[in-house]
Structure 1
């Protein structure tokens, strides 16, 4: 553990090593991610604009940056251990770095931590999410009535994507946010959490991540960080005893998927998680693959896992990068209606 003086000196050293162009990009609120490629070029992903080359960064400077980060993260970065993962010490952004022999020179990607939480209204204003229809208020009043289940089934497909999301949060549905790398899954998850804080401010939230990126704004919340020593699956089991109303997971990446589904399906509805995939169906297929990584689920049949997912995950949201402004688009907000003949059944 570094003492306060050493930590401050290393932070100052890191700022000097970064240089003006690099540090300015990190401090620019319009920049989403900063990357160095093996050819030495430095790139930044600008919100609503896309990728721009910022110039070049010398290999020695990039090596120094990662070396200092490794020291502050309490780990070693060597040819024998050439991958660095963790939080960038200056601002808590997500850092992924690699050095030779995995690459010809040092490469890294720094995914900036969200400074501003975008709301669903912001998504609508920016053209990322379909507008609310005139029928939304009527729909929300109908689903709150005793015969609301029938109204929900009849009207889901007529709702805008935004109205579906707000209703799903209000009705404590389990939501899976799906998207490719850099598509904005976490930012969208934060918008959904903002809606949750407005609609259900008294719910107790337990959120688990390996890099702290979620913005949980309710008063009654517990934020947990997974690590190599304490993996997400173990934290999820502990979470069950923390009296959560809702369980949130930053990103599903492995066998913890099985523990998450069990948690959501045992009296803790209204959960939220993200996963890497390129469509709603691919997202559930990926979730299925991860479940089989859990030791307790390895002997399950494909049909058993599919039915488990279909009965637990209620809504799948797919967001994708686009070549046109604003650069991202919520493409699908679908209800999961079952698993038949080896495929998931959706409504939307």
Structure 2
């Protein structure tokens, strides 16, 4: 009975994946095999845009509204939910055949036409040296960041949506990995798998909404895994408090990302997130736990489409601003 049920599930999954491929089209499906592609976006007008590592966003192709709507329906089915006028949003990880990419889509009345955005997991690392070559980071900034990583300073990578926070975090993690041996245990916590670390002693955790396991719970679990460094994807809720406490109690050298428009705003937002845990302002804890805030921003005038606008050293209360800004 169980074998028959499992076989039917496998067949249904295979059909669903094949339908997704058909509705996305060969050219879009091929993007999942390109290690430089980090985002695929279909707008309500059917225009598809693609962002590649270090190259910014470009127009790619057209997709018809029926196909977009069908992809959203198939994703909803895969996630055991529905998409309708009453439930116009679909969010979640795609099947393994699509690299468990992060999918977000919506239909009218939220948007004029069905649309989606697919965030692909990192498969190649854009290094700090490549940042220098592209003019996103100066040599002085690279040297400062590398020194800060060697000194086990806690770093907050701040920026707006699509500014490249995760890509920059992976470049920083690459520096850590190059000098990490078996004796240095690195624990990574994310909502979706985007951070990449080639160090030998790594444990990666993912939150699980269905099981009620959030980032706060994982941070508490992490402390029992004997971490030397704690790296976090995006901090977006009261988990900020648990992260700061962990960083401040014998686990220096961490990295996390946060949505904010400048370093001071990042520290303020971090404080606001801490207060979601029902505690008063944690400015003293933040100043003690966070050493460096790196601000990255999208810049259509820049050949790479983004640049580092500031590196803020929290404890000395000064900012090193990019000569380009």
When normalised by structure 1's length, the TM-score is 0.82
Runs of 5+ consecutive residues of structure 1 not aligned to the other structure: 132-159, 339-344
Runs of 5+ consecutive residues of structure 2 not aligned to the other structure: 1-5, 321-325
Secondary structure of the residue aligned to 2:70 is: helix
Would you identify which runs of 4 or more consecutive aligned residues in structure 1 move more than 6 Å? none
Give, in whole Å, the separation in 1 of the partners of 2:286 and 2:313: 12
RMSD over aligned Cα, in angstroms? 2.0
Number of the residue aligned with 2:203 = 222
Alignment partner for residue 195 of structure 1, among 175, 179, 195? Answer: 175
Q: Cα offset for 1:128? A: 1.6
Per-residue CA distance 1:232-274 (angstroms, 9 max, x = gap): 1111111111111111110001111111111111111111100
Number of the residue aligned with 1:321 = 298
The correspondence of residues 199-348 of structure 1 with structure 2, limited to 5 A, is: 199-201=179-181, 202-228=183-209, 229-295=212-278, 297=279, 300=280, 302=281, 305-323=282-300, 324-337=302-315, 345-348=317-320
Number of the residue aligned with 2:39 = 33
The reply on whether 1:5 has 2:14 as its aligned counterpart is no
Aligned pairs, number = 308
CA 259–112 in structure 1, closer or farther in 2 if over 3 Å, else same: same
Secondary structure of the residue aligned to 1:244 is: coil
Secondary structure of the residue aligned to 1:250 is: strand
Q: Which moved more, 1:246-255 or 1:280-289?
A: 280-289
When normalised by structure 2's length, the TM-score is 0.88
The reply on whether 1:118 has 2:126 as its aligned counterpart is yes
Q: Cα offset for 1:88? A: 2.8
Per-residue CA distance 1:179-234 (angstroms, 9 max, x = gap): 11111111111111111011233310111111101102112111111122211111
Secondary structure of the residue aligned to 1:95 is: strand
The reply on whether 1:106 has 2:114 as its aligned counterpart is yes
Asked whether the equivalents of residues 21 and 54 of structure 1 are also in contact (C-alpha less than 8 Å), the reply is: no
The correspondence of residues 147-158 of structure 1 with structure 2, limited to 5 A, is: none
Secondary structure of the residue aligned to 2:148 is: helix
